[in-house]
Structure formats: structure tokens, C-alpha cells
Amino acid sequence: MEDEEKLKEETDDGLLAHLNACHDTCMNAVMYSLHQGGDFAKVDHIRSLLDCAQFCTVATDFYIRDSETAGEILNLCAEICDESADSCELFFEDQAMKDCAEVCRNCSKICQDAVEEVEEDFEDLVDDEDQDSEEIEENK
């Protein structure tokens, strides 16, 4: 049991670190893109970066509080991270955009990996609550 808790803590730290890094990278990419101007500053690209940054924050919040919809939020976050990476990859000659795309892709993968664990943890929690309810009923 102790090994499982340690593994969960390491997974939590890794996921949260990736979400925070992706948020920060996208926010920095927004400022970079606005300073570059031209195609970098087009609304669709900036919106994609801002959506990704915001959703990483939302996913972090849902995950930390063990929300029962955390898995769905992480799935959506993965999709949004991939969309942001796609937008950054349009600027294939720009290293800052390449770096941003890589961070977004990594975050997407980590979110996808975490979804299965979140869903398993929630099922275990529901099972524990059901078992507690049964024990209370038996003791009446």
C-alpha cells in the first residue's frame, strides 16, 4: 500500500509539473507572439495559446480536488494542448514555437496517461464508500 501511495504522489507531482510548465510556456508564447507581430499575432494562434494555458490551470484545479470529472477535464485538456501544439507547429522555423509545441505535446501525453489513473482512483473511492454504507446498514 505504501508503494502505491508513493507512486501516486510521484504521478501527481509529474502531472502538476507538466500542467504548470505548459501554462507558463503558453503564456510566454503569447507575449512572444504578440511582440513578433504578423502571423504570430493572429487571433486564432493567440486564442489557442490562451485556451491551453487556461485549461491547464482548470485541469490542475480539478485534479487537486479529486473532482469526479477530473478524468473528463484531463481528456479535454489533452485535446486543447494538442491544438495549441498544432498552432505552434505552423511556425516550424521558429525555435520558440517549436519549444512551445513540444511542451504542449508532452503535457497532452501526460494528461492522457493520468486519465486512466484518475478513473481507477475514483472507482476505488466509490467502492470504498459503497462498502462503508453496507457496513453501516449491517450495524443498524
Write out pLDDT tens, residues 30-43.
999 999 999 999 99
Q: Is the pLDDT of residue 5 over 90?
A: no
Q: Which three cell numbers stand for residue 10?
A: 510521484
Contact (CB, 8 A) for 56 and 20: yes
> How many Å apart are CA 4 and CA 6, to the nearest integer?
5
Stretch 55-71: mean pLDDT, rounded?
95
Angle 95-139/2-36 helices, nearest 10 degrees? Answer: 140
Annotated domain spans of the chain: 2-139
Q: Is the pLDDT of residue 123 over 90?
A: no
CA diameter of the chain: 72
What is the C-alpha radius of gyration for the chain, rounded to an integer number of angstroms?
19
Topology adopted by domain 2-139? Substrate Binding Domain Of Dnak; Chain:A; Domain 2 (1.20.1270)
pTM beyond 0.85: the answer is: no
Q: Is the pLDDT of residue 52 over 80?
A: yes
